[in-house]
Amino acid sequence: MSDDIKHECGLAFIRLRKPFSYYLQQYGTVLYGLNKLYLLMEKQHNRGQDGAGVAAVKLDVEPGYPFLHRIRSNANQPIVDIFSRIHTDLQELEKYQPDIAKHPGLMKGHIPYLGELLLGHLRYGTQGKNNLEFCHPFIKRHTIPSRNLALAGNFNLVNTDELFALVNIEPGEFQKQSDLAAMMEVIHHFLMKEDEASPADPDITGILRKAVPLFDGGFTVGGMVGNGDAFVFRDANGIRPAYYYINDELIVAASERSAIRTVFNVGENEVLELMPGMGLIAKADGSVSIEKILEPRERRACSFERIYFSRGSDEKIYRERIALGYNLSEQILTAINHDLKNTIFSFIPNTAEVAFYGLWKGMDDYLKQVVIQRILSWGTDVTEEKLSTMINRKIRIEKIAIKDVKMRTFITADVGRNEMVQHVYDITYGTVQKGADTLVVIDDSIVRGTTLRESIVRMLARLEPKKIIVVSSAPQIRYPDCYGIDMSKLGDFVAFRAAIELMKDHGKEHCLQELYNACKELSRTGQLHTENMVRQVYKPFSTEEISDKIAQLITPPEVKTPVQVIYQTIESLHLACPTNTGDWYFTGNYPTPGGNRVVNKAFINYMEGKNVRGY
Query: In one letter, which amino acid is 119?
Result: L
Judge if pTM exceeds 0.85: yes
Q: Distance (Å, rounded) from C-alpha 71 to C-alpha 57?
A: 12
Q: How many CB atoms lie within 10 A of CB 35?
A: 16
Q: How many CB atoms lie within 10 A of CB 472?
A: 26
Residue 408: pLDDT band by 50, 70, 90 thresholds? very low
Buried b (16+ CB within 10 A) or exposed e, 347-370: bbbebbbbbbbbbbbbbeebbeee
pLDDT in tens, 427-448: 788 888 999 999 999 999 999 9
Arithmetic mean of pLDDT, 518-546: 96
Q: Distance (Å, rounded) from C-alpha 334 to C-alpha 339?
A: 9
pLDDT at position 422: 62
pLDDT in tens, 205-258: 999 999 999 999 999 999 999 999 999 999 999 999 999 999 999 999 999 999
Q: How many CB atoms lie within 10 A of CB 97?
A: 14
pLDDT in tens, 142-196: 999 999 999 999 888 888 888 888 888 877 777 777 889 999 999 999 999 999 9
- Look at residues 243, 209, 204 and name the one whose alpha carbon lies nearest to residue 224: 204
Instruction: At 404, give phi and psi (nearest 5°).
Output: -85, 95
Q: What is the DSSP pairing of strand 396-397 with strand 343-347?
A: parallel
Q: Distance (Å, rounded) from C-alpha 202 to C-alpha 373?
A: 71
Residue 426: pLDDT above 50? yes
Q: What domains are there in the chain, each with its CATH number?
A: 9-299 (3.60.20.10), 308-607 (3.40.50.2020)
Q: Distance (Å, rounded) from C-alpha 16 to C-alpha 274?
A: 19
Q: How many CB atoms lie within 10 A of CB 450?
A: 17
pLDDT in tens, 328-360: 999 999 999 999 999 999 999 878 999 999 999
pLDDT, mean over the chain = 90
Q: Distance (Å, rounded) from C-alpha 484 to C-alpha 488?
A: 10
Q: Which residues contact 458 (CB under 8 A, 6 or more apart)?
A: 422, 556, 559
